[in-house]
Chain A
């Protein structure tokens, strides 16, 4: 029963988007689309042909493939609460962050390959946000490494838990959870960093980078973004609410439900908040970085 996280994530990730959409619809007083709609969208995209811009090269076609592969590889390194990851070793935290980086590198290059001003703009903003989220993520995880003394995500998640919060330095867990949540929202282009529902190219960040993709390529991108939401979501929930029942089956179920709860939370945030003005994003991420540093300072004195 080990390493079941990867199949669950691969199967369940699109559901999170469905939950977010339903939550937003509920807030807006609409019925909203079915929860399983993202799966239908993916199936429809995978059945289509494709249109490519004449400006593009093979890199544009490689972008979605590499970003999906690297997101899958990143999930293979992630535990879900007490459910261990497929691969776990000391320092897998760093490889996780850099796998996401690889996907981003190719997404940005694919966007620049179209030669469109809008996609260039989105690419520039994506590079900007992610340059700031990377230290937030790794410093926050460094604080957790100090707290638990463990260097792999699986062992780290296993040593966190409700009792860890009551021990000295437990406040750091909340700070890190907050900064990881900010990272997750920024990396997944959600409000308050980016609005996935916007319809104006000028205001989009992530969505504008993939304007030219179509058919199976776009399906890959959509699926990769669902997986990324699952990945960073399980990182946040692993720090904040690691459920450990002792039985792998229950743990898996509990982990999945905690992610669904997180998706509801994201939906609520998207319903009650507006998007930040673009220049404010840096301040917001600097705040998250300050949380990570503060957490590291709190646990620094721990034996």
Chain B
């Protein structure tokens, strides 16, 4: 356990040092993050290979709980993306924040350290302690730009949502004897409490309301960490609880499939309707968490119906998607951060044409966009393919309805994600600039480009080496599914052989692209290649204001799904014989926020106001309350 404790200690100490080192805060903070990753990733790989360290219990000064930590394959599987992404994002952050935000490095490294502790904690009190530290550190990062009203609001929503989630977890741990112990009774209640408590952190619909506010408000490298790995601690907790509950009944799988398809489809639809770039990405996290839930649900159905193949494909796909989403969503948030940094706005309607000014950021965003759409040969396809294959295998094994729901929702999510990311990439990076700032944008600095390049490379690498990654994560899959690794080994070929073929086809595709590009270059060599205006039906002076906008691109799909989106349109059309101008704007609020939480909190407030009659400032009455309470307690004691 020593390397992992060293990793956590390095993170905490470098965070504390960064808080007092003034101008050098970013250097200290980022070096600490990278050093922590270098210390923590090797033991995690060893643990994945089944050679993890013995669990360790240290002295702990509190009367409850214990400082006991451990590193098994499941913890290690989550630890690797946490450490890798936080290190990459920290390097990015040195360029992104520059000399601003010196105070943020303390919270950044504390966030990483608390996530490490969340995955390693073996005691309930320690886990909750780390969980709370994680929530608070990220709260301070969300409200980092606290001169803005929106950031303060987002922080408050986040704080309330996290603590409501933690309330469920407290009850859950009470049923688990304050630790990761199998419950004696009430397994279903534990499962539902875990789903609510951890689901609030992961962002399952309808528990996701904090997410689209909080992620865009934070600085972009923090958004990348929050969206890429922090919300995955919710998935980790859910899987950890599932390992304790023994053989799952099929309805748990069904419930997760229902939650997953709702989160997936609604998440991508809400993303499609946004035109704030980072808010769009935040909703995509809801979508991808939905895909992960679909995978876990498929796996649970497989376990419940004694089909190790379906369990392997479902859990394997879900876990790989955890890793893949960390990489491509981290990449997308970092690229979006470069856009924000260079063009000063997240409003897609004001961006455009950045590919010419920022070619490398554009290429990074393109890689991330293709990966998140699940397009081969990138990593998003590998994990979605496993879940698809799990659904199709379930169909052949007599679970046609469940498999059909999985396949149908994944396909719809895939199609809508493609619409959403062609919109995001096309409107922000392609065409011409829609306002002044993007026209003069500058490419991001070397530190920012380096971390984006590393993440983009990882996306391609995993896309081409799916079988290795699955084999490497087998220990974690075995642990999450509760099926011994030996039984999984016997069906492993069912997953490895198709993945091999996928990798081969991906490589073949890349070869075909290179060959065709060479053919095109050969065909065009020595011929006349001219530059001209874009063809606009003969109109000779097209301007970038005539381009299709993000709202108009999404309009057909948004209006098709209008009942679930409730997009508000505001149009001031051209008026009179000589119209001077026209405006059109759309806004898509969060359905759950407006439909569930605002009324619920409204009623809560009303109820709370009723209680005010008890508190009116008359001291005599307060004395009466005290006397009555004492009397009641006395009566209870004497009974």
Interface positions of A (Cβ within 8 A of B): 46, 48-57, 59, 61-62, 64-66, 68-70, 72-73, 76-77, 87, 89-95, 97-99, 101-102, 104-105, 108-109, 112-121, 123-125, 127-128, 130-135, 137-139, 142, 145-146, 149-151, 201, 211-212, 215-217, 220, 282, 293, 296, 299-300, 303
Contacts and interface: CB of A to CB of B under 8 A. Distances in A.
Q: Which of A46, A119, A293 has the most B CB atoms < 10 Å from its CB?
A: A119
Given A56-B534, A134-B412, A142-B408, 11 more contacts: A52-B532, A54-B533, A57-B362, A104-B418, A105-B370, A105-B375, A109-B426, A115-B547, A142-B392, A293-B404, A293-B408
Nearest to B404: A296
Contacts of B504: 87
21 contacts: A51-B531, A65-B516, A73-B505, A89-B498, A89-B500, A91-B385, A91-B498, A94-B384, A95-B501, A95-B505, A101-B415, A115-B353, A121-B548, A124-B552, A127-B553, A130-B415, A134-B414, A138-B410, A139-B408, A217-B520, A220-B516
B411 interface: yes
B498 A300 contact: no
B426 A108 contact: yes
A132 B412 CA distance: 7
A127 B411 contact: no
Interface in B328-367: 352-353, 355-356, 359, 362, 366
B432 to A, nearest CB: 5
A116 B416 contact: no
Contacts of A105: 370, 373, 375, 418, 421-422
Nearest to A134: B415
Contacts of B412: 131, 134-135
Query: Chain B contact residues: over half helix, strand or loop, or mixed?
Result: helix
Which 3 A/B pairs are nearest by Cβ-Cβ distance?
A: A120-B548, A112-B426, A115-B431
Contacts of B418: 101, 104-105, 108, 127, 130-131
A212 B381 CA distance: 31
B613 interface: no
B477 to A, nearest CB: 18
Interface in B498-519: 498, 500-502, 504-505, 508-509, 512-513, 515-517
A129 to B, nearest CB: 9
B524 A215 contact: yes
A109 to B, nearest CB: 6
Given A124-B555, A127-B423, A138-B407, A94 B389 contact: yes
Interface of B: 352-353, 355-356, 359, 362, 366, 370, 373-376, 381, 384-385, 388-389, 391-393, 395-396, 398, 400-401, 403-404, 407-408, 410-412, 414-416, 418-419, 421-423, 425-427, 430-432, 494, 497-498, 500-502, 504-505, 508-509, 512-513, 515-517, 520, 523-524, 527-537, 542, 544, 546-548, 552-557, 560
Contacts of B388: 91, 94, 138
Given A50-B527, A69-B512, A94-B388, A87 B505 contact: yes
Contacts of B355: 57, 59, 113
A120 B557 CA distance: 15
A137 B384 CA distance: 16
Given A108-B426, A134-B411, A145 B509 contact: no
A83 B494 CA distance: 24
Contact of A108 (B400, B422, B529): B422
A257 to B, nearest CB: 28
Contacts of A137: 411
A91 B376 contact: no
Nearest to A68: B516
Nearest to A142: B407
A253 B354 CA distance: 51
B422, B427, B498: which has the most chain A beta carbons within 10 Å? Answer: B422
B537 A118 contact: yes
Contacts of B512: 69, 72-73
Contacts of A93: 392
Given A117-B546, A127-B553, A77 B505 contact: yes
A54 B532 contact: yes
A69 B422 contact: no
Contact of B548 (A52, A56, A87, A117): A117
A46 B500 CA distance: 36
A124 B556 CA distance: 8
Contacts of A50: 524, 527, 529-530
A113 B395 contact: no
A101 B374 CA distance: 9
B534 A65 contact: no
Given A102-B375, A109-B426, A130-B418, A53 B523 contact: no
Contacts of B410: 138
Contact of A117 (B362, B529, B536): B536
B517 A97 contact: no
Contacts of A108: 418, 422, 426
A113 B548 contact: no
A151 B418 CA distance: 25
Contact of B544 (A49, A94, A115): A115
Contact of A146 (B384, B396, B537, B553): B396
A63 to B, nearest CB: 11
Given A77-B505, A124-B555, A151-B389, A102 B524 contact: no
B548 A109 contact: no
Nearest to B531: A54
A115 B430 contact: yes
A164 B502 CA distance: 30
Nearest to A117: B546
Contacts of A92: 498, 501
Contact of A91 (B392, B515, B520, B524): B392
A116 B431 CA distance: 8
B353 A216 contact: no
A131 B271 CA distance: 14
Contact of A57 (B392, B430, B516): B430
Which interface residue of B366, B385, B430, B497 has the most chain A CB atoms within 10 A? Answer: B430
Contact of B411 (A102, A124, A135, A217): A135
A109 B395 contact: no
Contacts of A130: 415, 418-419
A300 B401 contact: yes
Contacts of B548: 112, 117, 119-121, 123-124
Contacts of A135: 408, 411-412, 415
A55 B534 contact: yes
A86 B500 CA distance: 15
Given A54-B531, A142-B404, A145-B396, A102 B536 contact: no
A98 B505 contact: no
B403 A116 contact: no
A303 B396 CA distance: 9
Nearest to A127: B419
A145 B392 contact: yes
Contacts of A139: 404, 407-408, 411
A133 B408 CA distance: 11
Given A134-B411, A134-B414, A49 B557 contact: no
Contacts of B505: 73, 76-77, 87, 95, 99
A142 B403 contact: yes
B547 A120 contact: yes
Contact of A97 (B411, B430, B501): B411
A80 B515 CA distance: 26
Identify which of B396, B524, B548 gathers the most chain A CB atoms within 10 Å of its CB: B548
Contacts of A49: 524, 527-530
